[in-house]
Amino acid sequence: MKQEAVKIALEIPLFAGRSATDILVDRLGGQTNSNFLITVDGARYVLRIAGVGTETIINRKNDAANSQVASEIGVSTKVLFVDESTGVMLREYVDGVPLEIEDFRNPEKIEHAARAIKAVHESNRIFESRFDILEKLDEYEAMVRNAGGPVPIDYFEQAKLSDGARRMMKNFPVDLRPCHNDLVAPNFLDVGNRFLVLDWEYSGMNDPMFDLAALAAEADLTLEDEQHLFASYFPGGVPPLDACRMTIYRVLWNQWVTLWAMNQIANWSVGDNFWDWGMVHFAKYKQGVVADAFSQSLQRLGETDL
């Protein structure tokens, strides 16, 4: 894989005239894509090679455009090169530490994350695409059906429990803002006094409360942690309807990630255990969709005079 990274790097204009011996490569990891640390004459860069088949679920043109906007806002690393046809992207390297779930037990980390997310939401910038969780659920359910699974044996029965929320959110008016939409812990980079946010593949215009819900779900925030997230994002107090939408989105997020994991297994060759990953989120979905907070939030939105 490192040889492939060197070959791809040599095709990037920034490295024109270089030879393979000029380029040092170290693997950085990646779940569906492959990321590499590229070092040339002491200067360091991050090279992303898109995973096989990801072009069927990721619009690489939008990915490139939104990544550039995020870097211009100042919340992400600079984009130095993009090939929209392949998904290859070269970014500046910034010293920092990717976060882990446990880091969000620290209130200061929650505050830094909220600040970074809010900077995107309030940037007045426009992302090229629209991320709609309701459309994503429909799309991914169709994909897993067409692929013949795998899927948890009771998925489609349990999925009916969110039908009311899906109908409600389809007609509920929201103020669309630029959103990341995939705020797993490793997509935050701690650079000391602030966080940068990486990996804008799923970015698009969306309800900002979806970003907070994704973070809360993936960081496994407790009720106390969630209240701290709200306090950090809404220093003047959280609007009740925003809190209700966030509660509903957190459940729908876990439902979607369940399907995302199953489609990784069904449609692409993957090395990680996506089944276990999906089942963890499915368990969270089943717990959340029958919780009082979910039904109460749904009722509150339903009583709202639109």
The answer on pLDDT for 66 being more than 90 is: yes
Mean pLDDT value across residues 53-72: 86
The answer on pLDDT for 135 being more than 90 is: yes
The answer on pLDDT for 18 being more than 90 is: no
Segment 167-195, tens digit of pLDDT: 999 989 999 999 999 999 999 999 998 99
Mean pLDDT value across residues 124-137: 96
CATH number, residue 174: 3.90.1200.10
Of 15-19, 124-128, 157-161, 271-275, which range is least confident?
271-275
Higher pLDDT, 211 or 83: 211
Question: 120 and 86, same structural domain?
Answer: no
Question: 195 and 53, same structural domain?
Answer: no
H or E element, residue 49: strand 43-49
Q: What percent of the chain has pLDDT over 90?
A: 73
Q: Which residue carries 């929209």 as its tokens?
A: 84
One-letter amino acid of 128: E
Question: 286 and 191, same structural domain?
Answer: yes
Question: 102 and 72, same structural domain?
Answer: no
CATH number, residue 69: 3.30.200.20
**How many Cβ atoms from other residues are within 10 Å of residue 19's Cβ?**
9
Domain boundary among the residues 43, 69, 92 is at 92
Higher pLDDT, 20 or 35: 35
pTM, whole model, 2 decimals?
A: 0.93
Residues spanned by the domain of 205: 97-302
Domain boundary among the residues 43, 62, 92 is at 92
- pLDDT band, very low/low/confident/very high, at 58 (cuts 50, 70, 90): confident
- pLDDT band, very low/low/confident/very high, at 29 (cuts 50, 70, 90): low
Question: 230 and 298, same structural domain?
Answer: yes
Question: 85 and 9, same structural domain?
Answer: yes
Beta-strand runs (E) in 58-121: 79-83, 88-92, 97-98
Question: 71 and 106, same structural domain?
Answer: no
CA distance 277 to 229: 25
Question: 123 and 251, same structural domain?
Answer: yes
- Contact indicator for 294, 161 with CB cutoff of 8 Å: no
Burial of 44 (0-12, 13-18, 19+ CB in 10 A): middle
The answer on pLDDT for 267 being more than 90 is: no
Question: 72 and 118, same structural domain?
Answer: no
Segment 217-266, tens digit of pLDDT: 999 999 999 999 999 999 989 999 999 999 999 999 999 999 999 988 88
Tally of domains in the chain: 2
Question: 213 and 150, same structural domain?
Answer: yes
Question: 85 and 189, same structural domain?
Answer: no
- Angle in degrees, CA 200, 204, 210, rounded to 5: 95
Strand partners of residue 206 = 177
The answer on pLDDT for 71 being more than 90 is: yes
Residue closest to 214 by CA, chosen among 299, 117, 74, 282: 117
Between the two ends of the chain, the Cα-to-Cα distance in Å is 54
The answer on pLDDT for 272 being more than 70 is: no
Segment 72-99, tens digit of pLDDT: 999 999 999 999 888 899 999 999 999 9
pLDDT at 268: 65
Secondary structure letter of residue 130 according to DSSP: B
Domain boundary among the residues 67, 92, 117 is at 92
Average pLDDT of the chain?
91
DSSP sequence for 266-286: HHS--SS-HHHHHHHHHHHHH
The answer on pLDDT for 158 being more than 80 is: yes
- pLDDT band, very low/low/confident/very high, at 216 (cuts 50, 70, 90): very high
The answer on pLDDT for 296 being more than 70 is: yes
Mean pLDDT value across residues 11-38: 82
Question: 253 and 133, same structural domain?
Answer: yes
